[in-house]
Structure 1
Amino acid sequence: MALHTATLTFKEEATCSICLELMTEPMSVDCGHNFCRSCLTSIIENQPQETFHCALCRASFTRNSLRPNRQLANLIDSFREMNLRMCEEHEQRLLLFCEDDEKLICWCCERSAKHRGHVTTLVEDAHQDYKTKLEKAVTKLKQMQDECKNKKMSIREQITNWEKTIEDQKENIQSEFKNLNIFLQEEEKFYLSKLENKKEQALKKLQADQVSLNMQSNEFKHHILELEKKCQEPENELLQNVKDTLSRSSSVKLKLPEPFSLDLNTDCKVSERYFDVRKKLKSYQVNVTLDPETAHRDLKVSKDRRRVTGFSFRMNLNTRLNATMFYSVLGCEGFSSGKHYFEVDVGDGNGCGVGVCLENVERDDDQRQDPLSGFWTIRLCQPDGCIALTSPPTHLHLMEHPQILGVFLDLEAGLVSFYNMITSSHIFTFPKASFPGTLRPFFQVCGDSFLCLPPPDN
């Protein structure tokens, strides 16, 4: 009972007479009374006078006389904390935790009808138990947060990769159509030139026939006038030299032009001819075979010269002219003009290089493979995938491994292009070049890889 009385007395002393609540940041005025800082501020702010009156005793005080009462503030904080651990009903310490009602209770509360049959534990034990549970919950949530963060990063990476994939595919499509446009433009020039030549030939023949017929017509006209004039002469004059006149007219013969066919024979059904890129490329296909004399000593060329196999060991130690060449072999055929196409079957293997090179190019181990050195090639290798050996090299992001490569040359246009012939899709075209000499097919085989040259379709 004494504790309850002391508690009420302190609470009364610590209550602000302005807001009637326990003081917050108590401030003392000259007379010694205390009030909340916010309550005093609300009274004196925006007031012009310098002197005010205490709300309890009406004693005067000034703005400058206000002082914080830290000792009282500490006591009030201690009182608040003590009140939180004291049962208001029984004035006992709250030492128990009621699991059912989820609140702190005292021993008297536990025995009351209100909490009879409820599960109770000591506050310290409940605190430690629930702290552990909360920490486990925090750990689990942090794990899920980390998992969520990692998933977000993964999705962000997927988005980046997908956007790159789409952009690469977009570039491939644009490159393929650009290459096709160049190809079609060259074809258009060819057929228009062919048509123009046909036109010139026909016009030249028809115009020559026209000149011949005009000359014959004039001759007929001359003889007609001569005969008509003879018919008008008197008897004695008409009969003079009449046989000679008739002989001259009868010797005149009509020479008709030889029949000339106006069939163009240059019909170009564009939609049928160029819709299938594979079909069009194969119209320029040439029969390429391997030249064993140009093969590296560790490469094995088949008897039919259509297959070359690499070895991971040296076949022999004989010194040959090509002993210092990297693992490559040239095609027998050389190209110096026109359009040419050939195919190379590389299978599922890697470590292969395909393309063309200048006939007299150096092929030493330390020789760079790029257009400046006389090479226009692409390479299939791990882990880089497909690379166009430009300067610097161009990494080609292909959707799938090209098992059959198509190589197309247009020497007049200065183009070397590569195609995936399984999908009939364009892979890469080297920038336009001016070839200083004859080009030969170039093949490179590393390790135990192989490649073969399918014969042209009949």
Structure 2
Amino acid sequence: MSAASCLLNEDQFLCSICLDVFTDPVSTPCGHNFCKKCITDHWDVNLPYNCPNCKEIFFSRPQLRVNTFISEMAAQFRQSAQQEASSSNSLGQQIPEPGEVPCDVCTGTKLKALKSCLVCLVSYCHTHLEPHLKMSGLKRHQLIDPVENLEGRMCEKHDKLLELFCKNDQMCVCVLCSVTDHRTHDVVPLKEGYEGKKAELGKTEADIQQIIQKRRLKIEEIKQSVELSDKNADREMAEGVQVFSALKERVERSEAELIHTLKEKQRETQKQAEGFIKELQQEISELEKRSSEVEQLSHSEDHLHLLQNFTSLNAAPPTKDWTGVRVHPPSYEGTVVRAVKQLEETLSEQMKKLISELELRRVQQYEVDVTLDPDTASAWLILSDDGKQVKSGDVKKNLPDNPERFSSGAHVLAKQGFSLGRFYYEVQIKGETGWGLGVVKESMNRKKTLELNAQNKFCVIGSSFENWYCALDYPLLVLTPMSKPEKVGVFVDYEEGLVSFYDVDTACLLHSFTGWSFTEKLYPYFSTERGDGGESASLIISTVKHPECKKC
């Protein structure tokens, strides 16, 4: 027996309290049926006792008896309904989930709709859709994927199907609307309007995806900034710990030296005092011995014995004159002050050294790979195959006179030019007596001898003799480094207009050009002179070594 063919309809198997198929149905004295639990719970909270259906009042709580007939019929109905649902599922039909469209024709348990008809304005499940698939008249109806509120697809004014689109008012209209209110408007079929809007949505989607991508890139940029910040903070903290550890070690060493100095003075005073005390105690011992002998002789009754020993015992034994002997406590006054002052000087020097090392390591972060450009090298120069070394030879080569090449002197530029940001490179100059390093502007005249003047400034330092160095600015500035540099680091901050030169081995700043306003590309510059023996030593572009923080 199926739920559809049952003589009793579904409503007769539903409890009027829980609105579900009966579970343990019982009958009241008035003849109405309820789930046993439902009526029991109802009477537990509602007084006086009454029937929820007919409102008949009972003066005492009725005795409930199971309605066997209803119980069996409800069980059969539940089983039949389950079988029907199972059969529908086997045919591909399902009970609609929340948000899905149910069939408008199904009675009792409604199945999931497969299509909606825009002519009938009804949604159909698989079973009820069959006439639209078989009957010739219904086959002409337009079927779409199931949607709710089919009435919304009808014109409220003319009760006709909305099958046109007005481009002027951007709204869907019916056929009557197109010849009345919209007769002068640009009205097209829904499909054409749909295709146009779909294309616009595609563009909108592309624009949205582009915006999303930009936001994602911005997120990555922010994350990278945070990572860089963390990395820089970690590096600074590590360097800070090393610096302050070195300073604390210096302070502790000075403290130990001060304590050692004071204790040494203390020990010397104690040693001197102990020596004097020992001598005094020895003299006291000798004097006490003589005093005892004198006392014994003075009490002697032997006249001859006293007279014979009187001369040797009457004189005091020889002793040291202690009148001028003093233990002079050392002067400790000013010892701590002198130690602190010396520590201050030491720390000042150490701080300068540590700061120089930190500054050099900071600019070394901006290391760039620099190689020499043979197209700019003057004919006297010899370049290595890897573009990392240059020296001056004794034979002038026959080279094409291209616009980039220096026509005189011994100059060469790097291939890499820079017009923003910061960059740093290092050059080994050991063994060179004549050299030049720095940066020059792209438009400098390479066909004339380099001249120092206010109009032709370039940031270069160099040495033309063994022991003196100059900054090629206007006017010429002579530098006096503490020691002869063997490796020079060049740092440029384009936006700040800063060019600095460092002695890499000592971390000392040799010179800085400041306050410049760069407006064109800058190129690393190299120059070397021939020595007395013909060829010169090589200028070598070296890889930056990143040493750990050094402790003094």
User: Same-fold call, TM > 0.5?
Assistant: no
TM-score tier after normalising by the smaller chain length: 0.3 to 0.5
- With a CA cutoff of 8 Å and minimum separation of 6, indicate the structure with the bigger relative contact order: 1
TM-score, structure 1 length as denominator? 0.44
TM-score, structure 2 length as denominator? 0.38
